[in-house]
Amino acid sequence: MLIFYMNISIRKAAPGDGFAIMDCMNESCDNNCKECINRYACNNKFFLIANPELIDTKLAMKNGSTLIALDGKKVAGLCIYITHKFSKTQHRAECGWFVRKSYMNKGIATMLVEALIKDAKKRKLKRLDAESSVNNMASLRVAEKLGFKIEGKKEKGLLLDNGKYEDVYILGKLL
């Protein structure tokens, strides 16, 4: 699957993309959790253990799909879904998306999630689940635009790196 929009192409991530994905995520971490650039995606504990090899290992697994938006060789954003192994929930997957700070508000998250939905349908999944902070308006706009419905709310469902909690919406989309 290869989608082109302006200078952006979308394709499945593969082992070997770990370094470019880490570079994308690192742009949003300023190592100052009190003034985090992207407090919803940044996870300074993740950056302590993550490395390109770990990401490449995860990309080789067959329990989901990761798509990346590329501007040339630079990863502008990514989205992922992970399927369930339990027989009664194997028809659904957890999903999420992330866009590099310098590429936000350009429709890239929408393009990524649209491509992810198509990929999930090809794999005969029947449902995608996601969570978003009640304050993450950009992510909620993408979800709403693409047919996700708010199905509930978890109080203090997200612990930010600054030690504060935020409520999260539980989002679902039937395929």
Residue 115 pLDDT > 80: yes
Residue 43 pLDDT > 70: no
Contact of 131 with 171, CB cutoff 8 Å: yes
pLDDT at 4 (0 to 100): 46
Structure tokens at 66: 């990761």
Q: pTM of the full predicted structure?
A: 0.85
> DSSP assignment of 51-112, as one string?
-HHHHHHHHH-SSEEEEEEEETTEEEEEEEEEE--STTTTTEEEEEEEE-GGGTTSSHHHHH
Q: Residue 47's Cα: distance from chain center in Å?
A: 16
Q: Average pLDDT of the chain?
A: 85
pLDDT at 49 (0 to 100): 54
Q: List pLDDT tens digits, range 15-38.
A: 889 888 888 877 766 565 555 555
Give mean pLDDT, residues 156-163.
83
Q: List pLDDT tens digits, range 47-99.
A: 545 677 778 887 887 888 999 999 998 999 999 999 978 889 999 999 999 89
* Domains of the chain as residue ranges with CATH: 3-125 (3.40.630.30)
